[in-house]
Amino acid sequence: MHTIALTAPANWNPARVDAENTGERTLDAFLKGVERRALRMAELATSSRDDALDLVQDAMFGFVRHYADKPQADWAPLFYRVLDSRLNDWHRRRNVRSRWLAVWTRSDSDDDERDEIAQAPDTSDPGPLLRLAGSEAGQALNAALGRLPLRQRQAFLLRVWEGFDVATTASTMRCSQGSVKTHLSRALAALRRELEDHA
């Protein structure tokens, strides 16, 4: 019976393998830590759980692909920058699609056939059970956040929910610090107006 001798490759370093495994576990823990908040942000931006799940997953893949080797302290702003890009792209595509559909439906308004798209149920409506879930104030906050313009909502969520400073928020949103302050100020004013009955 022959015995095969196994030898490690010349460049094999057990310390490096342990460091890579530790790095993967740290990255997994980071992604698990931001997953729920990122999903909530995406749901507020899209009003669709399915779209939000797709966008967060895509943002996570993009983050891992491009930024996993960056210092861990930079991960949160970089991840939210990727998510911000995905949300902006989603809104641009939706606006283009809406304009195209508006032109298409106007040109086909003489058509006697039933328009299946127009007759489809509104999937952004959460339904009666979900509307009853949670507190009245929580529902009011969710609704108010959903009505904010995209940039104001992003500034609010990054500054207030994530606790980023102005500079990090500006870097994440790819705008000036002054713009972040303006967006946040307008968001807070709008939320105060809408939620004054729940104070």
97 in the same domain as 28: yes
What pLDDT sits at residue 71? 92
Does residue 130 sit within a domain?
Answer: no
Out of 40, 74, 104, pick the residue that ends a domain. 104
Phi/psi of residue 110, nearest 5 degrees: -80, -10
pLDDT by residue, tens only, the chain of 199 residues: 454 444 445 554 544 545 555 668 888 999 999 999 999 989 888 888 999 999 999 999 999 999 999 999 999 999 999 998 898 888 888 776 666 555 545 555 444 455 555 555 555 555 544 444 455 767 778 888 888 998 999 999 898 888 899 999 999 999 999 999 999 999 999 988 888 776 5
What pLDDT sits at residue 101? 58
Does residue 137 sit within a domain?
Answer: no
160 in the same domain as 95: no
Does residue 118 sit within a domain?
Answer: no
Does residue 155 sit within a domain?
Answer: yes
Per the structure, the count of domains in the chain is: 2
What pLDDT sits at residue 124? 55
Does residue 109 sit within a domain?
Answer: no
Does residue 8 sit within a domain?
Answer: no
What pLDDT sits at residue 29? 92
Does residue 124 sit within a domain?
Answer: no
99 in the same domain as 43: yes
CB 119 within 8 A of CB 105: no
156 in the same domain as 100: no
Q: Is the overall model pTM greater than 0.85, yes or no?
A: no
100 in the same domain as 24: yes
Question: In the 3-class helix/strand/coil scheme, how is the chain assigned residue by residue?
Answer: CCCCCCCCCCCCCHHHHHHHHHHHHHHHHHHHHHHHHHHHHHHHHHCCHHHHHHHHHHHHHHHHHHHCCCCHHHHHHHHHHHHHHHHHHHHHHHHHHHHHHHHHHHHCCCCCCCCHHHHCCCCCCCCHHHHHCCCHHHHHHHHHHHHCCHHHHHHHHHHHHCCCCHHHHHHHHCCCHHHHHHHHHHHHHHHHHHHHHHC
167: containing domain:
149-199
Out of 104, 132, 161, pick the residue that ends a domain. 104
Does residue 163 sit within a domain?
Answer: yes
What pLDDT sits at residue 3? 47
What pLDDT sits at residue 88? 85
